[in-house]
Amino acid sequence: MAKTNNKLGLALVGLGEYSSGQLAPALKETKYCYLSGIVTGSTDKADEWKKQYEIPGKNIYDYKNFDAIKNNADIDIIYIVLPNAMHHEFVIRAAKAGKHVICEKPMALTVEDCDEMIAACKAANKMLSIGYRLHFEPHNLEMMRLGQQKIFGPIKGMIAEDGLAEVEGWRLNKTLAGGGPLMDVGIYCVQGVRYTTGLEPIAVTAKEGTKKNKEKFKEVEESLTWTMELPNGIVAECKTSYSEELNLLRAEAQNGWFELTTAYEYTGIKGETVEGKMKFPQINQQAKQMDDFAQAIMNNRPTPVPGEMGRQDVKILNAIYRAMETGDRVTV
Ligand code: NAD
Protein backbone atom coordinates (compact mmCIF):
# COMPACT_ATOMS: atom_id res chain seq x y z
CA MET A 1 0.00 0.00 0.00
CA ALA A 2 1.36 3.44 -0.87
CA LYS A 3 2.14 6.01 1.80
CA THR A 4 -0.90 8.22 2.33
CA ASN A 5 -0.78 11.64 3.93
CA ASN A 6 -3.71 11.33 6.29
CA LYS A 7 -2.85 7.89 7.71
CA LEU A 8 -0.05 6.79 10.00
CA GLY A 9 2.04 3.85 8.82
CA LEU A 10 2.08 0.79 11.07
CA ALA A 11 4.50 -2.14 11.04
CA LEU A 12 3.54 -5.52 12.49
CA VAL A 13 6.33 -7.40 14.29
CA GLY A 14 5.66 -11.16 14.30
CA LEU A 15 3.37 -12.52 11.59
CA GLY A 16 1.68 -15.34 13.50
CA GLU A 17 -2.00 -16.16 13.98
CA TYR A 18 -3.06 -12.88 15.51
CA SER A 19 -1.26 -10.67 12.98
CA SER A 20 -2.40 -12.66 9.97
CA GLY A 21 -5.90 -13.57 11.16
CA GLN A 22 -6.93 -10.33 12.85
CA LEU A 23 -4.60 -7.35 12.71
CA ALA A 24 -3.64 -7.29 9.03
CA PRO A 25 -7.27 -7.71 7.87
CA ALA A 26 -8.32 -5.01 10.37
CA LEU A 27 -5.71 -2.66 8.89
CA LYS A 28 -7.70 -2.76 5.63
CA GLU A 29 -10.61 -1.18 7.50
CA THR A 30 -8.75 1.44 9.52
CA LYS A 31 -9.20 5.13 8.69
CA TYR A 32 -6.21 6.62 10.48
CA CYS A 33 -3.47 4.01 10.05
CA TYR A 34 -2.48 1.40 7.49
CA LEU A 35 -0.11 -1.53 7.19
CA SER A 36 3.08 0.04 5.86
CA GLY A 37 5.69 -2.48 7.03
CA ILE A 38 6.40 -5.92 8.48
CA VAL A 39 9.09 -7.49 10.65
CA THR A 40 9.45 -11.25 10.31
CA GLY A 41 12.04 -13.98 10.66
CA SER A 42 10.64 -15.87 7.68
CA THR A 43 11.55 -14.98 4.08
CA ASP A 44 8.57 -17.01 2.86
CA LYS A 45 6.17 -14.93 4.94
CA ALA A 46 7.95 -11.75 3.82
CA ASP A 47 7.32 -12.65 0.16
CA GLU A 48 3.74 -13.69 0.78
CA TRP A 49 2.84 -10.54 2.73
CA LYS A 50 4.70 -8.29 0.29
CA LYS A 51 2.36 -9.49 -2.46
CA GLN A 52 -0.83 -9.77 -0.46
CA TYR A 53 -0.58 -6.37 1.25
CA GLU A 54 1.50 -4.51 -1.36
CA ILE A 55 4.29 -3.74 1.08
CA PRO A 56 7.36 -2.13 -0.49
CA GLY A 57 10.55 -4.20 -0.10
CA LYS A 58 12.26 -1.34 1.77
CA ASN A 59 9.61 -1.64 4.53
CA ILE A 60 10.31 -5.32 5.24
CA TYR A 61 12.66 -6.13 8.13
CA ASP A 62 13.84 -9.18 10.04
CA TYR A 63 14.60 -9.41 13.77
CA LYS A 64 18.27 -8.57 13.21
CA ASN A 65 18.00 -5.50 10.97
CA PHE A 66 14.83 -4.33 12.77
CA ASP A 67 16.62 -1.36 14.40
CA ALA A 68 17.19 0.24 10.97
CA ILE A 69 13.43 0.95 10.98
CA LYS A 70 14.55 4.14 12.74
CA ASN A 71 15.33 5.69 9.34
CA ASN A 72 12.06 4.68 7.71
CA ALA A 73 9.60 7.58 7.49
CA ASP A 74 6.83 5.25 6.24
CA ILE A 75 6.59 3.67 9.68
CA ASP A 76 5.13 5.69 12.57
CA ILE A 77 3.82 2.88 14.80
CA ILE A 78 5.37 -0.49 15.61
CA TYR A 79 3.00 -3.22 16.83
CA ILE A 80 4.68 -6.05 18.77
CA VAL A 81 2.80 -9.34 18.23
CA LEU A 82 5.46 -11.80 19.42
CA PRO A 83 5.41 -14.44 22.18
CA ASN A 84 5.00 -12.78 25.60
CA ALA A 85 8.63 -13.05 26.73
CA MET A 86 9.81 -11.12 23.65
CA HIS A 87 7.61 -8.06 24.21
CA HIS A 88 10.12 -6.42 26.55
CA GLU A 89 13.08 -6.49 24.15
CA PHE A 90 11.11 -5.45 21.09
CA VAL A 91 9.14 -2.61 22.71
CA ILE A 92 12.42 -1.12 23.91
CA ARG A 93 14.03 -1.52 20.48
CA ALA A 94 10.95 0.06 18.85
CA ALA A 95 11.10 3.02 21.25
CA LYS A 96 14.83 3.43 20.61
CA ALA A 97 14.04 3.50 16.91
CA GLY A 98 11.89 6.55 17.68
CA LYS A 99 8.50 4.96 16.94
CA HIS A 100 5.19 4.88 18.80
CA VAL A 101 4.46 1.38 20.09
CA ILE A 102 1.53 -0.97 20.55
CA CYS A 103 2.40 -4.07 22.56
CA GLU A 104 0.25 -7.17 22.78
CA LYS A 105 -1.00 -8.53 26.08
CA PRO A 106 0.35 -9.55 28.52
CA MET A 107 2.67 -6.56 28.37
CA ALA A 108 5.63 -8.52 29.82
CA LEU A 109 6.47 -11.21 32.35
CA THR A 110 7.54 -8.93 35.22
CA VAL A 111 6.70 -5.49 36.57
CA GLU A 112 10.39 -4.54 36.28
CA ASP A 113 10.28 -5.28 32.56
CA CYS A 114 7.10 -3.19 32.23
CA ASP A 115 8.84 -0.30 34.00
CA GLU A 116 11.73 -0.47 31.55
CA MET A 117 9.36 -0.53 28.58
CA ILE A 118 7.42 2.48 29.88
CA ALA A 119 10.68 4.33 30.61
CA ALA A 120 12.06 3.61 27.12
CA CYS A 121 8.96 5.05 25.44
CA LYS A 122 9.01 8.10 27.73
CA ALA A 123 12.71 8.68 27.02
CA ALA A 124 11.97 8.53 23.28
CA ASN A 125 8.95 10.80 23.77
CA LYS A 126 6.77 8.17 22.07
CA MET A 127 3.40 6.74 23.08
CA LEU A 128 2.94 3.19 24.32
CA SER A 129 -0.34 1.30 24.33
CA ILE A 130 -1.36 -2.30 25.02
CA GLY A 131 -3.53 -4.32 22.62
CA TYR A 132 -6.60 -4.19 24.87
CA ARG A 133 -9.18 -4.31 22.07
CA LEU A 134 -12.16 -4.80 24.43
CA HIS A 135 -11.89 -1.19 25.61
CA PHE A 136 -13.32 -0.29 22.21
CA GLU A 137 -16.04 -2.97 22.09
CA PRO A 138 -19.62 -1.74 22.73
CA HIS A 139 -20.80 -4.56 25.07
CA ASN A 140 -17.67 -4.29 27.19
CA LEU A 141 -18.01 -0.49 27.20
CA GLU A 142 -21.56 -1.01 28.48
CA MET A 143 -20.22 -3.19 31.34
CA MET A 144 -17.93 -0.27 32.25
CA ARG A 145 -20.85 2.18 32.17
CA LEU A 146 -23.23 -0.05 34.17
CA GLY A 147 -20.58 -0.87 36.77
CA GLN A 148 -18.69 2.37 37.16
CA GLN A 149 -21.84 4.55 37.10
CA LYS A 150 -23.59 2.12 39.47
CA ILE A 151 -26.67 1.93 37.21
CA PHE A 152 -27.91 -1.11 39.18
CA GLY A 153 -26.45 0.17 42.44
CA PRO A 154 -23.07 -0.72 43.87
CA ILE A 155 -21.50 -3.98 42.67
CA LYS A 156 -21.38 -6.70 45.33
CA GLY A 157 -19.58 -9.44 43.46
CA MET A 158 -18.26 -10.50 40.08
CA ILE A 159 -17.61 -13.72 38.21
CA ALA A 160 -15.08 -13.76 35.37
CA GLU A 161 -14.04 -16.84 33.39
CA ASP A 162 -11.97 -17.19 30.25
CA GLY A 163 -10.63 -20.46 28.90
CA LEU A 164 -9.63 -22.24 25.71
CA ALA A 165 -10.07 -25.96 25.07
CA GLU A 166 -7.07 -26.33 22.73
CA VAL A 167 -3.66 -24.67 22.72
CA GLU A 168 -0.22 -25.62 21.47
CA GLY A 169 3.23 -24.19 20.74
CA TRP A 170 4.97 -21.49 22.76
CA ARG A 171 1.90 -20.96 24.97
CA LEU A 172 2.87 -24.19 26.81
CA ASN A 173 6.48 -23.04 27.26
CA LYS A 174 7.02 -21.20 30.53
CA THR A 175 10.08 -19.30 29.30
CA LEU A 176 8.26 -17.84 26.30
CA ALA A 177 4.76 -17.48 27.76
CA GLY A 178 5.59 -16.64 31.38
CA GLY A 179 2.83 -18.98 32.56
CA GLY A 180 -0.24 -20.79 31.30
CA PRO A 181 -3.83 -19.70 30.64
CA LEU A 182 -3.65 -16.97 33.29
CA MET A 183 -1.09 -15.02 31.23
CA ASP A 184 -2.92 -15.63 27.96
CA VAL A 185 -6.67 -15.48 28.63
CA GLY A 186 -7.08 -15.16 32.41
CA ILE A 187 -5.72 -11.64 31.94
CA TYR A 188 -9.09 -10.76 30.37
CA CYS A 189 -10.82 -11.68 33.64
CA VAL A 190 -8.50 -9.35 35.56
CA GLN A 191 -9.17 -6.63 32.97
CA GLY A 192 -12.94 -7.25 33.00
CA VAL A 193 -13.19 -6.96 36.75
CA ARG A 194 -11.01 -3.83 36.77
CA TYR A 195 -12.97 -2.02 34.06
CA THR A 196 -16.42 -3.08 35.23
CA THR A 197 -15.84 -1.95 38.80
CA GLY A 198 -13.39 0.86 38.02
CA LEU A 199 -11.55 -0.40 41.11
CA GLU A 200 -8.23 -2.11 41.78
CA PRO A 201 -7.83 -5.53 43.45
CA ILE A 202 -6.39 -5.29 46.96
CA ALA A 203 -5.53 -8.94 47.56
CA VAL A 204 -5.80 -12.33 45.85
CA THR A 205 -6.00 -16.01 46.71
CA ALA A 206 -5.54 -18.74 44.09
CA LYS A 207 -5.64 -22.48 43.55
CA GLU A 208 -4.19 -24.44 40.67
CA GLY A 209 -6.58 -26.94 39.08
CA THR A 210 -5.67 -30.61 38.89
CA LYS A 211 -3.67 -31.41 35.75
CA LYS A 212 -5.51 -33.91 33.57
CA ASN A 213 -2.68 -33.90 31.04
CA LYS A 214 0.56 -33.81 33.03
CA GLU A 215 2.79 -34.23 29.99
CA LYS A 216 1.25 -31.36 27.99
CA PHE A 217 1.14 -29.06 31.01
CA LYS A 218 4.52 -29.93 32.51
CA GLU A 219 5.68 -26.30 32.49
CA VAL A 220 2.51 -24.27 32.99
CA GLU A 221 -0.78 -24.58 34.84
CA GLU A 222 -3.63 -26.28 32.99
CA SER A 223 -6.27 -24.36 34.90
CA LEU A 224 -6.53 -21.97 37.80
CA THR A 225 -9.22 -20.46 40.00
CA TRP A 226 -8.63 -17.30 41.94
CA THR A 227 -10.42 -14.71 44.03
CA MET A 228 -9.77 -10.99 43.95
CA GLU A 229 -10.79 -8.74 46.84
CA LEU A 230 -11.64 -5.19 45.81
CA PRO A 231 -12.64 -2.11 47.85
CA ASN A 232 -16.16 -1.91 49.35
CA GLY A 233 -16.19 -5.64 50.07
CA ILE A 234 -16.48 -6.60 46.40
CA VAL A 235 -15.26 -10.13 45.68
CA ALA A 236 -14.48 -11.42 42.18
CA GLU A 237 -14.42 -15.18 41.58
CA CYS A 238 -12.34 -16.01 38.51
CA LYS A 239 -11.33 -19.03 36.50
CA THR A 240 -9.05 -19.70 33.54
CA SER A 241 -8.22 -22.88 31.66
CA TYR A 242 -6.38 -24.39 28.71
CA SER A 243 -8.65 -27.44 28.59
CA GLU A 244 -12.12 -25.92 28.78
CA GLU A 245 -13.95 -23.21 26.83
CA LEU A 246 -15.00 -20.47 29.25
CA ASN A 247 -16.23 -16.97 28.44
CA LEU A 248 -18.08 -15.00 31.09
CA LEU A 249 -18.05 -11.58 32.73
CA ARG A 250 -20.85 -11.12 35.25
CA ALA A 251 -21.60 -8.51 37.89
CA GLU A 252 -24.07 -8.81 40.76
CA ALA A 253 -25.08 -5.35 41.91
CA GLN A 254 -27.42 -4.27 44.70
CA ASN A 255 -30.41 -3.83 42.35
CA GLY A 256 -29.69 -6.38 39.64
CA TRP A 257 -27.15 -8.26 37.57
CA PHE A 258 -25.50 -7.65 34.23
CA GLU A 259 -23.28 -9.92 32.21
CA LEU A 260 -21.59 -10.84 28.96
CA THR A 261 -21.77 -14.54 28.20
CA THR A 262 -19.47 -14.33 25.25
CA ALA A 263 -17.37 -11.61 26.73
CA TYR A 264 -13.88 -11.63 25.24
CA GLU A 265 -14.09 -13.00 21.70
CA TYR A 266 -13.37 -11.04 18.51
CA THR A 267 -17.03 -11.27 17.55
CA GLY A 268 -20.30 -12.81 18.73
CA ILE A 269 -20.27 -10.94 22.05
CA LYS A 270 -23.60 -11.20 23.86
CA GLY A 271 -24.79 -9.18 26.82
CA GLU A 272 -27.79 -9.20 29.10
CA THR A 273 -28.94 -7.39 32.21
CA VAL A 274 -31.69 -8.09 34.72
CA GLU A 275 -33.82 -5.89 32.41
CA GLY A 276 -33.17 -7.73 29.14
CA LYS A 277 -30.75 -8.30 26.31
CA MET A 278 -28.15 -5.72 25.29
CA LYS A 279 -28.50 -4.51 21.72
CA PHE A 280 -25.15 -3.39 20.38
CA PRO A 281 -23.48 -4.09 17.04
CA GLN A 282 -20.49 -6.40 16.59
CA ILE A 283 -17.59 -4.23 15.46
CA ASN A 284 -14.05 -4.80 14.23
CA GLN A 285 -12.37 -4.37 17.62
CA GLN A 286 -8.82 -4.36 16.29
CA ALA A 287 -9.60 -1.69 13.66
CA LYS A 288 -11.18 0.50 16.34
CA GLN A 289 -8.28 -0.07 18.74
CA MET A 290 -5.56 0.77 16.20
CA ASP A 291 -7.49 3.78 14.85
CA ASP A 292 -7.91 5.12 18.37
CA PHE A 293 -4.17 4.89 18.95
CA ALA A 294 -3.44 6.62 15.64
CA GLN A 295 -5.85 9.40 16.59
CA ALA A 296 -4.31 9.69 20.04
CA ILE A 297 -0.94 10.26 18.35
CA MET A 298 -2.36 12.70 15.79
CA ASN A 299 -4.28 14.71 18.40
CA ASN A 300 -1.62 14.43 21.10
CA ARG A 301 -4.02 12.98 23.65
CA PRO A 302 -3.49 9.96 25.95
CA THR A 303 -4.50 6.45 24.93
CA PRO A 304 -7.17 4.81 27.14
CA VAL A 305 -5.02 1.63 27.19
CA PRO A 306 -1.51 2.82 28.15
CA GLY A 307 1.53 0.86 29.28
CA GLU A 308 0.66 1.67 32.90
CA MET A 309 -2.56 -0.35 32.52
CA GLY A 310 -0.61 -3.31 31.16
CA ARG A 311 1.87 -2.98 34.03
CA GLN A 312 -0.92 -3.11 36.62
CA ASP A 313 -2.28 -6.32 35.07
CA VAL A 314 1.17 -7.91 35.13
CA LYS A 315 1.46 -6.94 38.79
CA ILE A 316 -1.89 -8.62 39.54
CA LEU A 317 -1.04 -11.74 37.47
CA ASN A 318 2.21 -12.13 39.39
CA ALA A 319 0.35 -11.78 42.70
CA ILE A 320 -2.07 -14.51 41.57
CA TYR A 321 0.83 -16.85 40.75
CA ARG A 322 2.42 -16.11 44.11
CA ALA A 323 -0.87 -16.91 45.83
CA MET A 324 -1.16 -20.13 43.79
CA GLU A 325 2.36 -21.23 44.69
CA THR A 326 2.24 -20.35 48.40
CA GLY A 327 -1.44 -20.93 49.17
CA ASP A 328 -1.37 -17.55 50.92
CA ARG A 329 -3.54 -14.49 50.54
CA VAL A 330 -1.26 -12.10 48.63
CA THR A 331 -1.74 -8.34 48.67
CA VAL A 332 -1.36 -6.68 45.30
P1 NAD B 1 1.66 -17.12 17.13
O2 NAD B 1 2.43 -18.25 17.66
O3 NAD B 1 0.59 -17.41 16.15
O4 NAD B 1 2.64 -16.05 16.46
C5 NAD B 1 3.85 -15.69 17.07
C6 NAD B 1 4.80 -15.14 16.02
O7 NAD B 1 6.05 -14.88 16.64
C8 NAD B 1 5.06 -16.15 14.89
O9 NAD B 1 5.03 -15.48 13.66
C10 NAD B 1 6.47 -16.65 15.18
O11 NAD B 1 7.17 -16.99 14.02
C12 NAD B 1 7.10 -15.44 15.84
N13 NAD B 1 8.23 -15.79 16.70
C14 NAD B 1 9.40 -15.13 16.72
N15 NAD B 1 10.25 -15.69 17.59
C16 NAD B 1 9.61 -16.73 18.13
C17 NAD B 1 9.99 -17.72 19.09
N18 NAD B 1 11.18 -17.71 19.68
N19 NAD B 1 9.09 -18.67 19.39
C20 NAD B 1 7.87 -18.68 18.83
N21 NAD B 1 7.45 -17.77 17.92
C22 NAD B 1 8.32 -16.81 17.57
O23 NAD B 1 1.07 -16.31 18.38
P24 NAD B 1 -0.11 -15.26 18.39
O25 NAD B 1 -1.37 -15.94 18.75
O26 NAD B 1 -0.09 -14.45 17.16
O27 NAD B 1 0.30 -14.37 19.67
C28 NAD B 1 1.29 -13.37 19.62
C29 NAD B 1 1.05 -12.35 20.72
O30 NAD B 1 -0.23 -11.75 20.52
C31 NAD B 1 1.01 -12.94 22.13
O32 NAD B 1 1.59 -12.05 23.04
C33 NAD B 1 -0.47 -13.08 22.42
O34 NAD B 1 -0.78 -13.01 23.80
C35 NAD B 1 -1.03 -11.92 21.66
N36 NAD B 1 -2.41 -12.14 21.22
C37 NAD B 1 -3.35 -11.22 21.53
C38 NAD B 1 -4.65 -11.39 21.14
C39 NAD B 1 -5.69 -10.36 21.44
O40 NAD B 1 -6.85 -10.64 21.26
N41 NAD B 1 -5.29 -9.17 21.84
C42 NAD B 1 -5.01 -12.55 20.44
C43 NAD B 1 -4.03 -13.46 20.12
C44 NAD B 1 -2.73 -13.27 20.53
The set of residues, in sequence order, having a beta carbon less than 8 Å from that of 118 and lying 6+ positions away, is 128, 307, 308, 311
Going by pLDDT thresholds of 50, 70 and 90, the confidence category of residue 6 is confident
- Which of 3-17, 173-187, 264-278, 295-309 shows the lowest per-residue confidence on average (mean pLDDT)? 3-17
| 105: annotated active-site residue | yes
Q: What is the pLDDT of residue 176?
A: 98
16 Cα: distance to centroid of ligand 1 (angstroms):
5
321 as an active site residue: the answer is no
Average pLDDT over residues 322-331: 98
- Residue having the nearest C-alpha atom to atom 8 of ligand 1: 16
For ligand 1, atom 44, the nearest C-alpha belongs to 18
Average pLDDT over residues 169-192: 98
pLDDT band at 5 (very low <50, low <70, confident <90, very high): low
Atom number, ligand 1, closest to the C-alpha of residue 15: 9
Least confident of 2-11, 216-225, 238-247, 288-297: 2-11
Tell me what pLDDT residue 129 has. 98
Residue nearest ligand 1's atom 4 by CA: 16
Exactly one of 105, 126, 239, 288 is catalytic; name it: 105
| pLDDT tens track for 185-213 | 999 999 999 999 999 999 999 999 999 99
**Predicted local confidence at residue 4, as pLDDT:** 55
For ligand 1, which residues put their CB under 6 angstroms from it?
14-19, 41, 81-84, 104-105, 131, 133, 169-170, 176, 184
Q: Kindly report the pTM of this predicted structure.
A: 0.98
Which of 13, 15, 18 is the best mutation target for the ligand 1 pocket, counting ligand atoms within 8 Å of the beta carbon and taking the most? 18
Q: In angstroms, rounded to a whole number, what is the distance separating the alpha carbons of residues 281 and 245?
A: 24
The number of C-alpha atoms within 13 Å of 272 and in the hemisphere containing its C-beta is 6
| 43 CB-near residues (< 8 Å, 6+ apart) | none
State the pLDDT at residue 2.
45
Catalytic residue (one of 34, 132, 188, 321): 188
Tally: H helices and E strands in the chain:
11, 15
**Residue 112, pLDDT above cutoff 90:** yes
C-alpha of residue 313 to centroid of ligand 1, in Å:
19
Distances (CA, A) of 54 to 46, 50, 253: 11, 5, 51
Residues sharing a CB contact under 8 Å with residue 325, sequence separation 6 or more, in sequence order: none
Average confidence (pLDDT) over 8-12: 98
Nearest alpha carbon, ligand 1 atom 30? 81
pLDDT at 327 over 80: yes
